[in-house]
Amino acid sequence: MCSEFKIFNATEIWQRETSLPSVPTFSQTLDGVLGNGGIQLGSIYEFLGLPGTGKTQICLQLCASVQIPKELGGLNAEAIYIDTNTNFTKTRFKEILSASLERCRKMLSDRKYDENAALKRLHYVKALGLERFCSLIHMLPDIISERPNVRLIVIDSITFPFKEGVTVKHRTGLLFRLIAEVQKLAMDKRIAVVLTNEMSTRIGLSTGSLVGAFGDAWAHRCNKRILLSAPEPLHKERLAALIKSNNSPETAGKFQITNGGIRDV
């Protein structure tokens, strides 16, 4: 009867969880907030915040960081970027990638890096509209099977496809089914998944408050949830707060967005 299920003991689960590597953000402070040294494989991370708080910038940095060579503790891997709202900018990604490769080159002086080859290790998909987005999520296992070196999937943003004429009841059921497929893929193939989410207004008895889109039930679907904010608008500094995690304490820290990507303050 139990042959249909794989049963683990606690030691096996612990060994599996602690053996999974992470994708660094190039900010030690931000990595410390995230726990596990960055974005750990096999998990789903959600970055939420107002426009301009650094959600897409972090996604672009991670797509570059996943390519760090194994000699420097990286994964030497590839990434898939699912763009649902035309947030991706090739020029900005190339700028971040060049800075990341330069840092690697300085630490490994005998290694030469081909920037064009590195650009090809990011697989970009535009998925505008709910129908195309759903179709793409269903196709992800086949896409990954053709690209077995992918270790990072970015969905920027998870919110935008559901802004079409979808009822709340239909949206919730569809969204939860889609994220279950993504979560299974992440665990089975040891892939890190990063989602960006927007803020919405929750109307109270007297005032409104800003909360993450999709409500309280959705807030518990991802392994970790990070709230981004800009304490001083038009400045480089950003604040990241870990507000939900299954294996790390809630904490906060500052990082900055530079021409070369995400860095410590």
- Residue 232 within a domain: yes
| Structural domain harbouring 109 | 24-198+208-263
Strand ranges, E, within 147-189: 150-156
Average pLDDT over residues 34-62: 95
Model pLDDT, residue 204: 53
Tell me: pLDDT of 208 over 80.
no
- Residue 174 within a domain: yes
The long-range contacts involving 38-43, CB below 8 angstroms and separated by at least 24 positions, are 38/65, 39/152, 39/192, 39/194, 40/192, 41/151, 41/186, 41/190, 41/191, 41/192, 42/17, 42/186, 42/187, 42/190, 42/191, 42/192, 43/186, 43/192, 43/193, 43/223, 43/224
- Residue 225 within a domain: yes
Mean pLDDT of the chain: 89
CATH of the domain at 50: 3.40.50.300
Model pLDDT, residue 202: 59
Average pLDDT over residues 45-72: 95
- What the block records as the tokens of 196 is 């960006």
**164 phi and psi angles, rounded to 5 deg:** -75, 180
CA 67, 121, 183, 9 dihedral sign is negative
Alpha carbon distances (Å) from 116 to 113, 119, 121: 9, 5, 9
Structure confidence at residue 3 as a pLDDT band (50, 70, 90)? low
Average pLDDT over residues 129-151: 95
- Residue 203 within a domain: no
Tell me: pLDDT of 206 over 50.
no
Lowest mean pLDDT among 86-90, 111-115, 129-133: 111-115
Give the pTM.
0.90
Model pLDDT, residue 201: 67
- Residue 18 within a domain: no
How many domains are there within the chain? 1
Contact 215, 198 (CB under 8 A): no
Tell me the per-residue pLDDT of 235-246, one tens digit each, with 9 for 90 and over. 899 999 999 998
